[in-house]
């Protein structure tokens, strides 16, 4: 084989490989494994090739979180279908956390659809763009009208809203609609709070605004928290630590 023919064969092989890769992305590609873990109602761990554990996020659905009503029931529903079973994984995407997003089948039964049918998941319309999502819309509607699973609740909170609220700021008013005095809101038990006390830093709550979760004022030696999340406090405490080692200069943001 002369050099020109060798180059032509390489180019053809590369083109075929690229075409196959494109088809796999567009059509999905499948592999099999055994379900060895169930994290919640839409996330499982699959043992592939008897050695690699792959975390799978079920495509197109969003189940109640463990801290929500029906969160445990959603997990139990999924576990009863997949745990210990041989499953087929049809890969659809990879999410921002590096998890494989997929449709999962057990003996040909669509697990994603089953969670919707039983009322233990919402259709995740923001990300469900495949042709099957039209069929899944009807499954969700039927479960909702039949009031099965989470739909037994009069006004269930979608998990994406629940996650957003959990990371959100302190409420501006109490359950009776009265304004809250933020200086008196008891803070949750936060790690390293004693460090802030030793450094003479005041830590209080404030109402949150757009994009505001907390701030540190170096001059006032004051951490203000608009969110109960530990990471927000630790972030602001890190600013305080920086200020102790090398005082913040003009132009440096305190928040």
Pairing mode, if any, of strands 29-40 and 222-225? unpaired
- Give the number of residues written for the chain: 255
- Is 172 a domain residue? no
The CATH number that applies at residue 157 is 2.40.50.90
User: Do residues 159 and 187 both lie within one domain?
Assistant: no
pLDDT digits (tens, 9 = 90+) for 187-246: 777 888 899 999 999 998 876 554 567 788 888 889 888 777 777 888 888 888 988 887
- Is 192 a domain residue? yes
Position 171 scores a pLDDT of 46
- Is 100 a domain residue? yes
User: Do residues 86 and 140 both lie within one domain?
Assistant: yes
User: Do residues 32 and 156 both lie within one domain?
Assistant: yes
Three-state SS sequence of the chain:
CCHHHHHHHHHHHHHHHHHHHHHHHHHCEEEEEEEEEEEECCEEEEEECCCEEEEEEECCEECCCCCCCCHHHHHHHHHHHHCCCEEEEEEEEECCCCCEEEEEEECCEEHHHHHHHCCCCEECCCCCCCCCHHHHHHHHHHHHHHCCHHHHCCCCCCHHHHHHHHCCCCCCECCCCCECCHHHCCCCCCCCHHHHHHCCCEEEECCCCCCCCEEEECCCCEEEECCCCHHHHHHHHHHHHHHHHCCCCCCCCCC
User: Do residues 133 and 199 both lie within one domain?
Assistant: no
User: Do residues 217 and 152 both lie within one domain?
Assistant: no
- Is 223 a domain residue? yes
CB contact at 8 A, 158 and 166: no
The contacts of residue 62 (CB under 8 Å, 6+ apart) are 42, 121, 122, 123, 124, 158, 159, 160
User: Do residues 28 and 82 both lie within one domain?
Assistant: yes
- Is 173 a domain residue? no
- Is 74 a domain residue? yes
Domain that holds residue 217: 182-245
User: Do residues 148 and 198 both lie within one domain?
Assistant: no
- Is 15 a domain residue? no
Of residues 181 and 65, more confidently modeled: 65
- Say yes or no to pLDDT of 14 above 60: no
User: Do residues 110 and 236 both lie within one domain?
Assistant: no
User: Do residues 116 and 200 both lie within one domain?
Assistant: no
User: Do residues 209 and 139 both lie within one domain?
Assistant: no
User: Do residues 41 and 152 both lie within one domain?
Assistant: yes
Position 211 scores a pLDDT of 55
- Say yes or no to pLDDT of 166 above 80: no
Report, as residue numbers or ranges, the catalytic residues. Answer: 57, 65, 99
Position 189 scores a pLDDT of 77
**How many domains in the chain?**
2
């Amino acid at each position: 084989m002369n050099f020109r023919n060798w180059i032509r064969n390489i180019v053809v092989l590369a083109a075929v490989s690229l075409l196959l890769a494109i088809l796999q992305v567009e059509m999905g590609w499948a592999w099999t494994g055994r379900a060895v873990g169930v994290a919640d109602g839409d996330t499982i761990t699959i043992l592939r090739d008897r050695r690699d554990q792959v975390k799978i996020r079920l495509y197109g659905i969003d189940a109640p979180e463990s801290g929500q009503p029906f969160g445990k029931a959603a997990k139990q529903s999924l576990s009863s279908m997949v745990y210990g079973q041989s499953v087929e994984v049809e890969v659809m995407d990879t999410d921002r956390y590096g998890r494989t997003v997929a449709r999962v089948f057990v003996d040909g039964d669509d697990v994603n659809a089953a969670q919707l049918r039983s009322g233990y998941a919402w259709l995740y319309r923001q990300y469900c763009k495949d042709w099957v999502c039209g069929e899944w819309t009807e499954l969700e509607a039927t479960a909702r009208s039949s009031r099965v699973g989470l739909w037994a609740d009069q006004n269930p909170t979608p998990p994406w809203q629940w996650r957003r609220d959990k990371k959100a700021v302190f409420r501006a008013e109490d359950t009776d609609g009265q304004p809250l005095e933020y200086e008196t809101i008891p803070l949750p038990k936060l790690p390293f709070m004693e460090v802030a006390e030793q450094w003479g830093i005041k830590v209080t709550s404030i109402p949150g605004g757009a994009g505001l979760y907390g701030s540190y004022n170096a001059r006032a030696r004051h951490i203000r928290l608009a969110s109960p999340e530990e990471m927000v406090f630790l972030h602001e405490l890190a600013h305080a630590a920086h200020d102790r080692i090398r005082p913040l200069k003009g132009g440096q943001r305190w928040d």
